[in-house]
Each structure stands twice: as structure tokens, then as C-alpha cells.
Structure 1
Amino acid sequence: MTRLAESVALVTGASSGIGNAIASTFGREGANVVLADVRRDPKLTEEESVFDRLDATDAEYTFVETDVTDEGQVENAVDTAVSEFGGLDVLVNNAGIYYQAPAEEAPMDDYDAIMDVNVRGVFLCSKHALPHLRARKGKIVNLASIYGLVGGGQSAAYCASKGAVANLTRQMALDYAEDEVNVNALAPGIIETAQNAEWRETDPVLLEDWQRRTPWPRFGTPEDVANAALFLASDESDFVTGTILSVDGGWTAQ
């Protein structure tokens, strides 16, 4: 399967969870993948390494240690894609963090960190990738969240950040439509990742609430999100831009 044959994709937060699945799927589909993350190893030791998954498909890839809040490191990641593989066709802004607290209790350090990674990171990566994407009529796939579309319990800062990602997606889609650069976002629901593993394992009340609010009879997997990202990164989505695609088992349909 080569839906991304010969394309070059930069995936942030590529070592773990959804980013790992997206990078692996893109490599399987023929893309040359630039893995950008603050760490090489996945957050959970039982998670298969993205490097092993890419090696299994004989994909071409390179890793760049990248803090998406640091403009110099972001520039370096983009430059690496261009120097290693000759250009850039797809940017996936996946890197993100989450701290849970209602507004009155949220430490400002947590708020600042969430906004830095989840919003500034998307902005910086897009800013530096866009000149190359314009040259090749490329694609941006941002990771928003259901909590960027509807409220989420005790998640004020996170909701603010993902709402910003959703509307930044819409605006960039308008700004670059004439250049034929597609800009879309995914809004995952409850996806079984390292980020929420502890809550799923130790908080039965929260788990029951998530199950009640997800009409589909299971939670999502990183591969569910990766398959949606693949569509948005491929030629099949050429007339799709400014869209926030929910991958949530029906959560936001209620």
C-alpha cells in the first residue's frame, strides 16, 4: 500500500501513542518520515518503538530531537526534512500535553505549558513548514480534540488550547486555500494511550463516565486516529480543507 508514495512527512510527538501510530502508518504507506519528539522512547515501556514499526515496513525515516515550543529546534526539524528527503509534503502537528484542573485551581505553570506545547507548537511548526508546503501543495494535519469542540470536565486550560487549535486550523485553511495547501484537524475522543492509561486503570468512576459518553461500544485506538490522518494526508482529501474531523465514537454527535 503506497497512498503516500515518495512523499515527505514530518510528525511531531512521534515516539508515543497517536504520533507513533501516525508515523508508522505513513511509513507503511510509502512516506519518508521525519520523527520529531523530545524523547526517542515511548512513554510506556510496553508500547512498541516507532523505529521498530518503521523498520518492519522498510520505511525511510530520520529522528530529530525537537521541543516544539523552541523555534530554533522547530526550524531544524523542518530543515532536516528538506535536506534529508528533498522537501516537505505533510506536517502532522501531534505533540501535545494535558493537565487536569478546573480554572480556579489550575497552576499557571501548567496553563502556560499547555498553551506553549499545544498552541505555540502548532503555530511554530506550521509557520516554518508552510513555505515548503506551498511549494508542493502539501497538507497540514493538526491534532485538536473533542475538548476543543465541547467542554471537558476540569480541563479548562486543555479545552482552551484545543479550541485554539481548531480555529487556527480554520484560519490557516482560508489563508492557504489559493495555494492549494490543505489544512485540517482531527478531534479524537477517548483514545487508549499512555496519556490516559493511569485514569483508565485507577479511576472506575471516570472510566464509566467515558464509556457512557462514547456511543460506540469501545474506546478508540491510536490506529483509528492514524487512519483518519492518512486520509487527510493523502490525495484523497484534496477538496477537504478547514475541517475538524471527529474521531470519537459518536461523543460529539450527542
Structure 2
Amino acid sequence: MSRLDGSVALVTGASSGIGNAIAAAFGREGATVVVADVRREPKLDDERSVFEKLDDTGAEYSFVECDVSDPAAAEAAVEHAVDSYGQLDVLVNNAGIYYQYEAEATPVEDWDAIVDVNARGTFLCSKYALPHLRESAGKVVNLASIFGLVGGGRSAAYCASKGAVANLTRQMALDYAPDEVNINALAPGIIETAQNVEWRENAPEIIAEWEAATPWPTFGSPEDVADAALFLASDESDFVTGAVLSVDGGWTSH
């Protein structure tokens, strides 16, 4: 028996990067997966489509276009899952964006965009999913970041948004523990995704900083985070709630 047999999972930002890997891993473990994203195809041409991966697993799946910062779109994504499959068991709030600025250099519109997607989007999808997750005694897996636990250079808005995700996770865990809804977060370190490929290819000084801060000999892969998400989405984590699990190669151990 697979770890998520019979479950219905909604994964936001699932077309690319970490979300792509999580959705594929969930399908491999028996879940029916709703892929929610503003785009259907990956950000990078050389990244394999999540739908090809899900086809390989034989999983049932569907796609819903969703801007998580829009209340109507977030609600519609949740209702698509419930209307299509009769239930919702797992919500993964993965959708996120990252622009790099010091506070004084941050354009107000970029601050708003980052906070809207990362923090507001997590809140909105949770708001509409939680009534259904209460019925299924389900799971919420939020994507925070190491920069939601410690400061990160030139990342004012991102740090603020991911700090909000980390503490919203703890707060919601308290409210929904009596309903046996597990609410946890992952705090990835440097994961090689489309979001940071430009820096990895063209900014050796930034890469040197990241390497110096990561005790593990390599950066992480999306699959490393997906494995942790599988644990938090499965019955194996039934007595874990309000946790923010670092998947960071030791970054936050400094």
C-alpha cells in the first residue's frame, strides 16, 4: 500500500520546481493530485512537465489555473478539488516568488507582489481548504524558507513573507489541532530550481555565499523537499503539528 492511497491533494505552484516534484511524488504514492498554478508548463524548457511525471505514475490528476493571491481563484481551486473528487485531504501551499532587494531599494509594487503570493496566498488557500480538511482530518504543508527563520541578505520582502508563513503555520496548528488537522511547514535551504537558475549561472559571488552558508557538500534538489512533504502529508506525521522542518543542508544550524 502506498503512503497516500485514496488521498486527494491540492498543490499550488505545482508546474515548476519544488511544487512539480511534490506533485509527482504524491502521485507516485497513490494520491489524486490537483495541480494549481498560474501557468501549465514549467518555467524552464528543460524541466520535465509535472503532467508527464504524473502520467508515469498512473495517478489521476487535473490542472486548475490559479493565482493564489486572488481570493476567488484560491476558492475556485479548492472547490475544483472537492467537486471533482469528492474530498480534500492534503493542501500544499507551495506557490511563491522571490525578488532580491535591500529594504530601502525594494519597490513597493514588488513588496506587495511577494507578500501577496507568499503570505496572502498561503492564508487564502488555507482559509478555503480548512473546512474540507476538518471533515477529512487532513494535512496542510506550507512552504516557508530558511529566510523565514533567519535573516537573508538583500531579501527584505521575501524574509518578511516567509516569516509570516512560518508563524501562521504555528498559529493555525493551535486552532485546528482539536479537529486533528495537522498543519506544518517546510523551510528549504538552497534548492536548485528555476527560481534561482539565473543566479546559479551568472552570479558566482552569490553562489559562493550560499555554498559557504551550507555545511552539506551540495545544494538540495526539489526531490529532497518532496520527500519531506510526503512525510508531513502521510499518516506517519499524525502527531506532528505546528512544526517548521528545515530542509537546508544545515544552513540554520549555524
TM-score of the alignment, normalized to the shorter chain, above 0.5: yes
SS at match of 1:178: helix
- Alpha-carbon distance, 1:146 to partner: 0.1
Distance in 2, matches of 1:188 and 1:47, equals 20
Shifted more, 216-225 versus 1-10: the winner is: 1-10
Q: Which residue of 2 aligns with 1:52?
A: 52
Quick one: which amino acid aligns to residue 83 of structure 2?
S
Aligned pair 1:192/2:170, yes or no? no
- Alpha-carbon distance, 1:2 to partner: 1.1
Aligned pair 1:62/2:62, yes or no? yes
Alignment of 1:169-188 (within 5 A): 169-188=169-188
Distance in 2, matches of 1:55 and 1:70, equals 29
SS at match of 1:227: helix
Quick one: which amino acid aligns to residue 224 of structure 1?
D
Distance in 2, matches of 1:34 and 1:164, equals 25
- Alpha-carbon distance, 1:225 to partner: 0.2
- Alpha-carbon distance, 1:74 to partner: 1.0
Distance in 2, matches of 1:163 and 1:240, equals 20
Structure 1, gaps ≥5 residues long: none
Alignment of 1:90-129 (within 5 A): 90-129=90-129
Q: Which residue of 2 aligns with 1:147?
A: 147
Distance in 1, matches of 2:51 and 2:66, equals 16
Relative to the length of structure 2, the TM-score reads 0.99
- Alpha-carbon distance, 1:205 to partner: 1.2
Aligned pair 1:37/2:37, yes or no? yes
Alignment of 1:18-37 (within 5 A): 18-37=18-37
Aligned pair 1:243/2:243, yes or no? yes
Superposed CA offset, 1:138-159 (max 9, x none): 0000000000000000000000
Question: How many residues are matched?
Answer: 254
SS at match of 2:151: coil
Distance in 2, matches of 1:86 and 1:2, equals 20
Aligned pair 1:136/2:102, yes or no? no
Alignment of 1:71-82 (within 5 A): 71-82=71-82
Superposed CA offset, 1:110-163 (max 9, x none): 000001000110000000000000001000000000000000000000000000
- Moved beyond 6 Å, runs of 4+: none
Give the root-mean-square deviation of aligned CA atoms: 0.6
- Alpha-carbon distance, 1:83 to partner: 1.2
Distance in 1, matches of 2:201 and 2:69, equals 31
Distance in 2, matches of 1:11 and 1:115, equals 19
